Chain A
């Protein structure tokens, strides 16, 4: 008790020193409690986002893969992940483990989807209507194309001055002449009477001048869609319906669908509305104002899509709304799209009520057949048709760009885009190769092999660099096939390929065995409920090793790529900050105690002279620093806990798309974990103790005679 009183007296006697040490200890403890709780909560929410969306607990990849699997890193090309060689076997082996709930096959890539320019699309529709003999529809489309040609001519008119500067000015002048022909009324007067030649003219001489092709950049995840639905609990369909089991199908990410597939003018209006609802204004927020201006500049996005009748109706309705006499649709639309804070709500409604029904609001509609063109891994441009069943999102992460980055498709379509060859197709190709018997020649020895030998390739039976004199030359008069001659379609059933081949694929329901067999680049492993990640990982790794599958097993943090690494970096920063703070505290406490020892030499000497043992002096110092540590440590813990409880109630708002994903929602609600309180306390106690050891030993070694003889 006396020791405690002495400690308190000393603490009270050196107020400045106590304050500095107190602040450091309080801040350090707060940092341990707040930082630790925040990061632990963030780790949990990230786990929820990543495990519940695309990664699941563990991922399996080819151990010889050139690139690493990183779901959320920016795409820098198609990563080479190799392949899981025998997926059905891997799936069976792992699903037999009690730690594993399910194994879901996957593959991801990206594709560019081109819509073609509006002119190409409309001419194709017109061409189809002509072929069908649908005169009424053809007339409407012909008017539409005519109107668009006139609009194109007007927009290119402003560039006429540049034609003379162009290297190919003659060609440009021919282009403008063709455009003038197609814009003239004479061209269209009897269009439907003889449309064929004019359609060819429009397709090849005019449409290519309209350079407004739309492109969608789609990242997709090919998977067993039914297994995906069952094993990723955050997954939910928003628009349309789920892809039926075993069928080919595509689900757009709701985020992509609303932000990329939607008409750009409509999308910007949605953006403005969202921002106005959040309290921002067109007048004061430059981001919002710029969207209004972009819409004004891009009124053609709307006008190109409307035929004459729709345009006339729009003019009338806009005149009414804007209360003006203006008759030019371009000017009316520009005026309409020039929105401000006052008229936005009315015009937004007008857009969706009057304009949206007349235009293509989504470049791809639910129920459409989407044509995905992509380059296979061998670089061959391939196109696959896949029906769009709807859109999906991950619950609670609707606004996250990262969570919405992937679109979903069935594994069979994915494999077609990958360039996977079924055994039947492989056999067909092998027989084609055998039939032709091409000799493989290595690049390094090509010149020697082809031109080097005694006679090289020259003079061979089937031709050579210098064919024998007998070849070629005028044939005998009776030889009718002197120009050569072959029938390219002999023995080939053209109906076996093409359209029928594509349509049959869309009707097919694939059995589970076929879904599991073929290219799988990676697979998600969902652990059984309650299984610890590391325990599950060890079990899966053991099974993979024993099965000789040649796979590497990575957890969701690694699989998430940059996002997962982000948390690791934050942990390192936090630890470093805590370490630095406590090191500083340690040095300061140590120094101040050394000073106190020197200050109190006479006092300690006296105490030692009247019988105090060395251990008594030692305890005296240790208790003093422990009181300091415990007192301010408690204060820091209390303040930190209060802050976490407060943040846990109000939540930390996600102010960016990335945070939305990391928080697994709009807010992060930190939770106070007992572990962090205990560790804060232990750290403070150890630091206090360590910092006092040297001064305490110094004090204990003071000789009473020397101390008492010392002058103040």
Chain B
């Protein structure tokens, strides 16, 4: 064998040894994302009681309790703030491409964007919405890794054209055994890391409409990577999958709650 062929072969062998074994191919990866989405999907309505606590350096903590209403089949979404009193009755309502914010103290509606920091926390609307990873993102497998004692799939997601997502690039660390997302990092288009999100606790509740368990992250810990002193904890305290009143996703309903 000529010398250059030997060198080439050796290089190829060495390179192959350096690349970690791919645990998932494209189909496998797609299946993981679909499983993540499917396990959290509910056929009917969704209501959850959430607690949000945001810490910032030398500031008072922002603490809120709110209720999130969702009707995923028709892509309807609403947040109503319950505590503290000064924020009570404030809310967000998504209708089609419009994301409205209502402030009862001033009695007016205002258009907001998907990047809105919900009640000043580091959470975005999408954090409370249905999981649509397989639909909204193109994926790339980065390898199998360890996260603490868990073996995880590391997947890089890039937004598909036309998807309305708060961050164009997201990296996921998914528990290999349960397919629960344990860690997520959101990046700006420039590649700058914006925030790291941990979802260490997952719960499930049986859905009558789906006839199956629906999973949800009971605890979400968000660390701001731009303002390093800022962090947010979101607790999903209760989940209710019973049907909601038909006309609930309207401005009139949200307004009526604070009259």
Contacts and interface: CB of A to CB of B under 8 A. Distances in A.
Interface in A363-387: 369, 371, 373, 375-385
- Which 5 A/B pairs are nearest by Cβ-Cβ distance? A380-B120, A497-B88, A451-B148, A498-B258, A502-B105
Interface of B: 47, 49, 51, 53-56, 59-63, 65, 67, 80, 82-90, 95-98, 101, 103-111, 116-117, 119-121, 147-150, 161-162, 175, 177-178, 180, 182-183, 198, 200-209, 211, 213, 218-219, 221, 223, 228, 230-231, 233, 235, 237-242, 250-252, 257-259
A483 B84 contact: no
Interface string A413-447: 00000010100011011001100101011010011
A483 B243 CA distance: 9
Contacts of B149: 451-454, 456
Contacts of B162: 167-168, 171
A488 B208 contact: no
Nearest to B103: A383
Contact of A378 (B54, B147, B175, B201): B54
A499 B201 contact: no
Given A379-B120, A496-B88, A502-B106, A483 B202 contact: no
Contacts of A373: 110
A385 B105 contact: yes
B201 A463 contact: yes
30 contacts: A168-B162, A375-B120, A379-B230, A380-B117, A380-B120, A421-B60, A428-B83, A446-B198, A450-B198, A451-B147, A451-B182, A462-B201, A463-B218, A471-B203, A472-B203, A475-B206, A483-B242, A485-B242, A486-B47, A486-B49, A486-B238, A488-B80, A488-B82, A492-B83, A494-B257, A496-B85, A497-B85, A497-B89, A499-B259, A502-B105
Contacts of B120: 375-376, 378-382
A52 to B, nearest CB: 34
Nearest to A429: B63
B218 to A, nearest CB: 5
B68 to A, nearest CB: 10
Interface in A576-591: none
Contacts of A379: 56, 117, 120, 230
Contacts of A425: 84-86
Given A429-B84, A456-B149, A483-B241, A465 B117 contact: no
A499 B258 contact: yes
Most buried by B among A124, A196, A488, A494: A488
Interface residues of A, number: 80
- Which interface residue of A382, A451, A457, A465 has the most chain B CB atoms within 10 A? A465
Interface of A: 114, 116, 120, 124, 167-168, 171, 196, 200, 203-205, 208, 369, 371, 373, 375-385, 419, 421, 425-426, 428-429, 432-433, 436, 438, 440-441, 443, 446-448, 450-454, 456-458, 460, 462-467, 471-475, 482-486, 488-489, 492, 494-499, 501-502, 505
- Residue from the set A168, A438, A453, A474 with the largest chain B CB neighbour count within 10 Å: A438
A373 to B, nearest CB: 7
Contact of A451 (B161, B178, B200, B250): B200
A433 B62 CA distance: 10
A466 B211 CA distance: 21
Contacts of B98: 203-204, 208
Nearest to B121: A380
B205 A472 contact: yes
A549 B90 CA distance: 39
Given A451-B182, A460-B201, A488-B82, A443 B223 contact: yes
A381 B116 contact: yes
A489 B80 CA distance: 11
A200 B250 contact: yes
A465 B103 CA distance: 37
Nearest to B175: A465
Given A436-B53, A446-B223, A496-B85, A483 B207 contact: yes
A498 B88 contact: yes
- Of A167, A375, A376, A484, most B-chain CB atoms within 10 Å: A484
Report which residue of B103, B198, B219, B231 has the largest number of chain A beta carbons within 10 angstroms of its beta carbon: B103
B70 to A, nearest CB: 13
A441 B150 CA distance: 19
A485 B250 CA distance: 22
B104 A467 contact: no
Q: Chain A CB within 10 Å — which of B84, B121, B175, B259 has the most?
A: B84
Contacts of B206: 472-475, 482-483
Given A383-B103, A497-B86, A451 B150 contact: yes
Contact of A465 (B61, B67, B200, B221): B200
A306 to B, nearest CB: 23
B108 A200 contact: no
A383 B91 CA distance: 13
A498 B104 contact: yes
A64 to B, nearest CB: 10
A441 B53 CA distance: 13
Contact of B148 (A447, A488, A505): A447
Nearest to A208: B98
B240 A484 contact: yes
A484 B67 contact: no
Q: Which of A205, A426, A472 has the most CB of B within 10 A?
A: A472
A276 to B, nearest CB: 40
Nearest to B211: A474
A485 to B, nearest CB: 5
Contact of A433 (B53, B110, B202): B53
A674 B202 CA distance: 84
Given A462-B201, A472-B213, A488-B82, 10 more contacts: A378-B59, A378-B120, A432-B84, A438-B233, A451-B148, A451-B149, A467-B202, A483-B207, A483-B240, A492-B82
A472 to B, nearest CB: 4
A172 B237 CA distance: 40
A428 B202 CA distance: 29
Contacts of A452: 148-149
A432 B235 CA distance: 13
